[in-house]
Chain A
Amino acid sequence: MDVRHGFAVALLVCGMAALLLSALALLALPTPYARLHALSPAASLGVPLICLALALDAGPGRAALKLLFIGALTAVSGPVVTIVIGRTMAREGEQPGGDAPGEPPA
């Protein structure tokens, strides 16, 4: 096992930890607005770290560039999706006459 593969496995473990922690947070956090916070570490930390590990293992070339592009795409789209879901939840909670609990958007 050379140094590059060792670094790749270390990055893979970090990315996996971020993904598994966010899955655990989605399962364990009590309120819907708290659960929204589980989305960001997975999209902006977990998948980019895994992409970095795979690109490091693949070596320089087109394959590594494609992997880094996938990581950047996920990192950009994660916050956008979180904002949109939060807005949708706030709108549903504030509908006049709706029986949904009027929880303040934190």
Chain B
Amino acid sequence: MNAWIVAACVLLPAGLGPCLWRACRGEPAQRLAGMSLAGVMAVAVFLLVARGVHRTSYVDVALVMAALTPAGTLVFARCLAGGSGQTPQQWRRAGDQGRG
């Protein structure tokens, strides 16, 4: 039991818990924040565990996670936006025209 393992054991419930709680409640676009932060926490946990158990090859898992988490969040945000490709200004203009 070294400092890295202790840090990972602290981070697993105290860091990932609030993120998963936020990712399970609220509007879909607001859950993305919790999910993204959960990915960042998971990268940190993987790095700490890899150092704690002295398996440097496990760092590759954290590297893949760090590359895939932002990509996944971007894809989810794109899906939530409906794939229209419009900027917020265009959305606002379309909404004003729809009301007027």
Contact = CB atoms under 8 A, between A and B. Distances in A.
Contacts, number: 144
Interface string B22-53: 10001111101110110011011001100100
B3 interface: yes
Interface centre among B32, B40, B62, B92 (most CB of A within 10 A): B40
A43 B40 contact: yes
Interface of A is mostly: helix
Interface in B53-71: 56, 59, 62-63, 66-67, 69-70
A42 to B, nearest CB: 5
Interface in B1-17: 3-4, 7, 10-11, 14-17
Interface in B66-95: 66-67, 69-70, 73-74, 77, 80-81, 86, 88, 91-92, 94-95
B3 A92 contact: no
Interface in A29-45: 32, 35-36, 38-39, 42-43
A102 B40 CA distance: 29
Interface string A74-91: 100110111011011111
A15 B66 CA distance: 17
Nearest to B46: A70
A6 B34 CA distance: 33
Contacts of A20: 10-11, 14-15
A3 interface: no
A88 B95 contact: no
Interface of A: 9, 12, 15-16, 19-20, 22-24, 26-27, 32, 35-36, 38-39, 42-43, 46-47, 50-51, 54, 57-58, 63, 66-67, 69-70, 73-74, 77-78, 80-82, 84-85, 87-92, 94-97, 100
The 6 closest A-B pairs by CB, nearest first: A96-B95, A77-B70, A27-B18, A32-B30, A88-B77, A23-B18
